[in-house]
């Protein structure tokens, strides 16, 4: 195993990823930020310096942080946030994790402004018979907002008063593929210059904030081999739709004779309503393996002619290494909704309570302090301040079913930190106890709960610490669509929290 060191400097600057100049928050002056690449078993050490005028944190989406919950990077939960002008060194191993994921700020909606990057961990080995490929390419997909996210957020939570109202506030102006998008007629594209007759693994990562994104490449089939960080049985499709924070690896073979120049559109179509006047939902890049250097000509998406292939259906994903989940020992139902306060501002609840970050301390520090005084913070069946937030505590290793019930019309992409849940089933309407896969359910860390529907996830509470379960739509998270799971608090209380993290809270 190797120790991999990175230096991140978070700063504010202007950028124009889609041709429109806007304020951004970035790492090392880059958008997307630097890619972290490691092998399973390595140690990753990231020294983060904050030059912003607000606090910040970096979260490593999907990693388990087993034994290092304090480096999970979640503001108000595992750290107070790096104060302006200060730094923090995150230091953790990727022993039990491999796959395609990303890192991002987890402080208010900062990541929406650009604090995102890819995180790739190569496994020790692939399952026998797993497909092979010639080259790896990271493809980061995002939606883009022209206003500073803090400005949008204060209107969103405060009931407006600005030119945008309601839904418009959470819909983007445009999007980007690897940091380049188009707005108002701009014609700059990300180019992937490939070789003919090779197979590429495109690691698609949705680093955006609200809109689901449909990815396709004109004339080319895509074979899905990974969803989030779980390897799949190969599944060939014509397009892949990613909810916010999801990832897919797809194999693409450069074997099309269709166009003489062998220039093709890569398309990232923003799926949710794009309500802002002038917004562009049709984001493109160019994939080429010929001699032509003009933009491809075809207008509408031709799909994969003659192939009979369809869009990805998540219900058809099968793990490459199926596992039968242990039977549940505990069960909870959590209904959630997002709606308006009397002043029109957005307000979200999970089991009737709305998440707010602790100020001047963290949930993890509260757990440690309580244990020091011989008690348990938020013992089983209780709620925590502020706002009497609902949380789930298990002080022994349990197999916990959580039924998420979506009482509103829209899909919500939920993410659980520190675990890869079994997705036992999902559907629209009322959950009846049927339609579950108890044999080889898919396992993934980010999953859409259907509008006016449900999703049943199963986890094993064997990872000591405090982990958030939340909608990954940045605006919803900030409106409180988040709860916490305290796994093995008696063990979490024994974690050796670094002094720098304790000190952050009094700075
Ligand atoms: Cu991608 Cu709570 O995180």
For residues 333 and 400, the answer to whether their CB atoms sit within 8 Å is no
Q: Final residue of a domain: which of 78, 99, 122?
A: 122
Taking residue 128's Cβ as centre, other Cβ atoms within 10 Å add up to 7
Q: Which one-letter DSSP state was computed for residue 146?
A: S
| Whether residue 75 has its Cβ less than 6 Å from ligand 1 | no
* Residues 165 and 298 grouped into a single domain: yes
**What is the pLDDT at residue 323?**
93
Residue 502's nearest CA partner among 88, 107, 5, 110 is 88
Q: Residue 162: its pLDDT value, please?
A: 62
Q: Do 156 and 278 share a domain, yes or no?
A: yes
Give 153's DSSP letter. Answer: H
Q: Is 245 in the pocket of ligand 1 (CB under 6 A)?
A: yes
Q: What's the gap in Å between 421 CA and the centre of ligand 1? A: 14
Tell me, yes or no, whether 303 and 347 share the same domain.
no
Question: Is 321 a member of any domain?
Answer: no
Kind of pairing between the strands at 330-340 and 399-406: parallel
The whole-number pLDDT of residue 252 equals: 98
Q: Length of the chain in residues, anyone? A: 507
* Structure tokens, 416: 């659980």
- Are the C-beta atoms of 358 and 366 separated by less than 8 Å? yes
Alpha helix segments (H runs only) across 198-277: none
Q: Are residues 348 and 466 in the same domain?
A: yes
Closest CA to 455 of 437, 477, 478, 473: 437
| Residue 285 and residue 268 in contact, taking contact as beta carbons nearer than 8 Å | yes
- Atom 1 of ligand 1 has which residue's CA nearest to it? 61
297 & 363 share domain: no
Q: Is residue 141 part of a domain?
A: yes
- Determine the straight-line distance between the first and last CA of the chain, rounded to whole angstroms: 35
Whether residue 164 is preceded by a cis peptide bond, meaning omega within 30 degrees of 0, is: no
**Residue 184 three-state SS:** coil
CB neighbour class for 53 (10 Å; exposed up to 12, middle 13-18, buried from 19): exposed
Give strand pairing partners of 459. Answer: 400
User: Which protein residue has the closest C-alpha to ligand 1 atom 3?
Assistant: 61
The C-alpha atoms of residue 176 and residue 15 are separated, in whole angstroms, by 13
What's the structural domain count of the chain? 3
Q: How far is it, in rounded angstroms, from Cα 501 to Cα 70?
A: 8
Question: Closest Cα to residue 286, out of 262, 254, 270?
Answer: 262
Out of 63, 89, 122, pick the residue that ends a domain.
122
Residue 225 DSSP code = E
Domain boundary among 122, 145, 160: 122
Helix (H) or strand (E) holding 371: helix 363-372
pLDDT at residue 185, rounded to an integer: 87
Assess whether 446 and 299 both reside in one domain.
no
453 — phi, psi (to 5°)?
Answer: -150, -160
pLDDT tens digit at each of 507 positions of the chain: 899 999 999 999 999 999 999 999 999 999 999 999 999 999 999 999 999 999 999 999 999 999 999 999 999 999 999 999 999 999 999 999 999 999 999 999 999 999 999 999 999 999 999 999 999 999 999 999 999 999 989 888 887 666 556 556 778 999 999 999 999 988 899 999 999 999 999 999 999 999 999 999 999 999 999 999 999 999 999 999 999 999 999 999 999 876 667 899 999 999 976 667 889 999 999 999 987 777 787 678 899 999 999 999 999 999 999 999 999 999 999 999 998 887 778 889 999 999 999 999 999 999 999 999 999 999 988 888 777 899 999 999 999 999 999 999 999 999 999 999 999 999 999 999 998 999 999 999 999 999 999 999 999 999 999 999 999 999 999 999 999 999 999 999 999 999 999 999 998
| Rounded-to-integer distance, Cα 132 and Cα 200, Å | 9
If you write DSSP's letter for every residue of 439-501 in order, what string do you get? SS-EE-SEEEEPTTEEEEEEEE--S-EEEEEEE-SHHHHHTT-EEEEEE-HHHHTTS---HHH
Specify if 81 maps to a domain. Answer: yes
Q: What angle do CA 31, 445, 447 make, to 5 degrees?
A: 95
Q: Which domain holds residue 474?
A: 330-504
Conformation bin of residue 444: beta by default, left when phi > 0, alpha when psi is -120 to 50 = beta
Q: Which residue has the tokens 């799926």?
A: 271
Please give the distance, rounded to the nearest whole angstrom, from the Cα atom of residue 84 to the centre of ligand 1.
Answer: 22
pLDDT of residue 278: 86
How many Cβ atoms sit within 10 Å of the Cβ of residue 306?
A: 6
CATH of the domain at 389: 2.60.40.420
Same domain, residue pair 231 and 98: no
**Binding site membership of 468 for ligand 1 (Cβ less than 6 Å):** yes
Short-list 496, 497, 203, CA closest to 362: 497
**Residue 15 sits in the same domain as residue 78:** yes
Report the distance separating Cα 242 and Cα 11, nearest Å: 28
pLDDT confidence of residue 344: 77
The pLDDT of residue 240: 98
Task: Tell me, yes or no, whether 336 and 462 share the same domain.
Answer: yes
> How many angstroms separate the alpha carbon of residue 106 from the centre of ligand 1?
7
The pLDDT of residue 164: 59
Cα(132) to ligand 1 centroid in Å equals 30
Q: Is the CB of 58 under 6 A from ligand 1?
A: no
φ, ψ for residue 168 (rounded to 5)?
Answer: -55, -30
pLDDT value for 215: 98
Tell me, in angstroms, the distance from the centre of ligand 1 to residue 349's CA: 18
Same domain for 335 and 427? yes
Whether residues 386 and 500 share a domain: the answer is yes
Determine, yes or no, domain membership for 325.
no
């Amino acid at each position: 195993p190797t120790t991999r060191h990175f230096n991140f400097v978070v700063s504010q600057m202007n950028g124009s990823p889609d041709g429109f100049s806007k304020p951004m928050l970035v790492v090392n002056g880059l958008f997307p930020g630097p890619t972290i690449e490691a092998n399973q078993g390595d140690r990753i050490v990231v020294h983060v310096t904050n030059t912003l005028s607000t606090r910040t944190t970096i979260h490593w989406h999907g990693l388990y942080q087993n034994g290092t919950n304090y480096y999970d990077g979640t503001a108000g939960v595992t750290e107070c946030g790096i104060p302006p002008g200060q730094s923090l060194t995150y230091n953790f191993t990727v022993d039990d994790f491999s796959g395609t994921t990303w890192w991002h700020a987890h402080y208010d909606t900062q990541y929406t402004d650009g604090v995102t990057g890819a995180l790739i961990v190569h496994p020790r080995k692939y399952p026998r018979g797993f497909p092979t490929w010639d080259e790896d390419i990271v493809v980061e997909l995002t939606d883009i907002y022209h206003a500073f996210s803090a400005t949008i957020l204060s209107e969103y939570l405060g009931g407006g008063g600005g030119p945008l109202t309601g839904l418009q506030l959470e819909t983007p102006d445009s999007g980007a593929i690897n940091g380049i998008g188009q707005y108002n007629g701009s014609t700059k594209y990300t180019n992937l210059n490939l070789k003919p007759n090779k197979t590429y693994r495109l690691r698609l990562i949705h680093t955006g904030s609200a809109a689901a994104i449909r990815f396709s490449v004109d004339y080319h089939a895509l074979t899905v081999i990974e969803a989030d960080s779980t390897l799949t049985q190969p599944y060939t499709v014509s397009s892949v739709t990613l909810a916010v924070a999801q990832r897919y690896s797809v194999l693409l073979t450069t074997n099309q004779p269709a166009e003489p120049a062998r220039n093709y559109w890569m398309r990232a179509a923003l799926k949710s309503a794009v309500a802002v006047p002038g917004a562009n939902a049709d984001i493109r890049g160019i994939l080429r393996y010929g001699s032509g250097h003009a933009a491809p000509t075809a207008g509408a998406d031709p799909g994969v002619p003659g192939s009979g292939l369809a869009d990805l259906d998540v219900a058809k994903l099968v793990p490459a290494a199926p596992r039968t989940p242990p039977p549940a020992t505990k069960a909870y139902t959590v209904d959630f909704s997002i709606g308006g306060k009397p002043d029109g501002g957005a307000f979200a609840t999970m089991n009737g309570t709305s998440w707010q970050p602790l100020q001047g301390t963290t949930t993890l520090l509260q757990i440690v302090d309580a244990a020091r005084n011989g008690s348990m913070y938020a013992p089983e069946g209780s709620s925590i301040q502020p706002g009497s937030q609902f949380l789930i505590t298990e002080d022994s290793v349990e197999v916990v079913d959580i039924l998420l019930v979506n009482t509103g019309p829209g899909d919500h992409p939920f993410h659980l930190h520190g675990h890869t849940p079994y997705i036992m089933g999902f559907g629209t309407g009322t959950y009846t106890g049927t339609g579950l896969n108890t044999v080889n359910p898919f396992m993934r860390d980010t999953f859409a709960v259907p509008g006016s529907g449900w999703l049943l996830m199963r986890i094993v509470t064997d990872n000591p610490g405090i982990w958030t379960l939340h909608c990954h739509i940045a605006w919803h998270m900030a409106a409180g669509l988040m709860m916490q799971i305290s796994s093995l608090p008696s063990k979490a209380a024994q974690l050796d929290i670094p002094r720098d993290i304790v000190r952050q809270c009094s700075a």
